[in-house]
A = this chain, B = another copy of it.
Amino acid sequence: MMQTMQQVVTIAELRQHLKEARRQGKRVGLVPTMGYLHEGHLSLVNEAKKHCEIVVMSIFVNPLQFGPNEDFDRYPRDMERDLKMAASAGVDFVFSPSVGEMYPQQVKTNVSVSGVSEPLCGRSRPGHFDGVATVVLKLFQIVQPDYAFFGQKDAQQVAVVEQMVRDLSVPVTIIPCPIVREADGVAMSSRNVYLSAEERKQAAVLYRSLQLAEKKVASGADLDSVRDEMIRTIEAEPLADIDYVELLRYPDLTKPEAPEKGDRVLIALAVRFGKTRLIDNVIVTV
């Protein structure tokens, strides 16, 4: 029998449902999202269904992880569409709390992860990963999932969450899932809707530059020269405005002198097209 999906908006109600599921010995998986779902999110649900009898998707645009001049207010939202997509994908509970339900008073508690939070998006978006760590830890306390599923597109986020889980012994297994791409290689992202037709077309350069770099790094090229070549490739597109292009050891996100055999290298970039900031990455084993 097909169980109908339920939307739950309060912490108390969600806990009540999950308590019952847990009593029945069911494993609970959490797919944390900010909504405006795409194939990337659905691939997380798909993976979650392999590990868990109960899949909870949270949909919450978390103000803590947006800077004062970022796109919190205009971040795309469409709950009705999200609920349909989540139901088709086989989600059991959509947890979509209001900001007031998640943060009834001003939040005084801050969770920060030094080291991995600092380079890349941490440098461009001060406080972003504190906001991420804090809300993810709170979602873990609310849902108490056995597994949680995160997209590798946010590779640094995965590294931050994994470090936090290890440091605090949070009883959850983190499952990073591969990036899902459009036909031309552009990584699926809710923010892609911001792009004009011309920006969207030129955005294909990001994955082209990553593929190029991937080959060179795998065959032992010098990381600085690979980085230079990526920058030249991206800058050939007139609308591309580079925030960063970096090659770092994964998952500790330190800058390797020269990577050693067996090291994983994260090739990561953030590039603006007009007002829209896109990120993408690949991880290569040297």
Contact of A167 among B11, B109, B169, B170 (CB under 8 A): B109
Q: Which residues of B contact A142 (CB under 8 A)?
A: 169, 171
A164 at the interface (CB under 8 A from B): yes
CA distance A118 to B15 in the complex (A): 33
Query: B114 to A141, Cβ gap below 8 A?
Result: no
Contact digits for A162-178, partner B, Cβ 8 Å, 1 yes 0 no: 01101111110000000
The answer to whether A164 touches B115, judged by C-beta atoms less than 8 angstroms apart, is no
A107 within 8 A of B: yes
A103, A111, A166, A171 — most chain B CB neighbours (10 Å): A111
**Which residues of chain B are within 8 angstroms of A254 by Cβ–Cβ distance?**
none
Complex contact B141–A109 (CB within 8 A) = no
With an 8 A cutoff between CB atoms, is A281 at the interface?
Answer: no
Kindly report which residue of chain B lies nearest to residue A104, judged by CB atoms: B166
Using a CB–CB cutoff of 8 Å, the interface residues on chain A facing chain B are 11, 15, 103, 105, 107-116, 133-134, 137-138, 141-142, 144, 163-164, 166-171
The contact sample of 24 A-B pairs, CB cut-off 8 A, is A15-B171, A103-B167, A105-B166, A107-B167, A108-B113, A108-B115, A108-B163, A109-B111, A109-B112, A109-B114, A109-B133, A109-B163, A109-B168, A110-B113, A110-B114, A112-B112, A134-B168, A137-B168, A138-B167, A138-B169, A141-B169, A142-B169, A144-B144, A144-B171
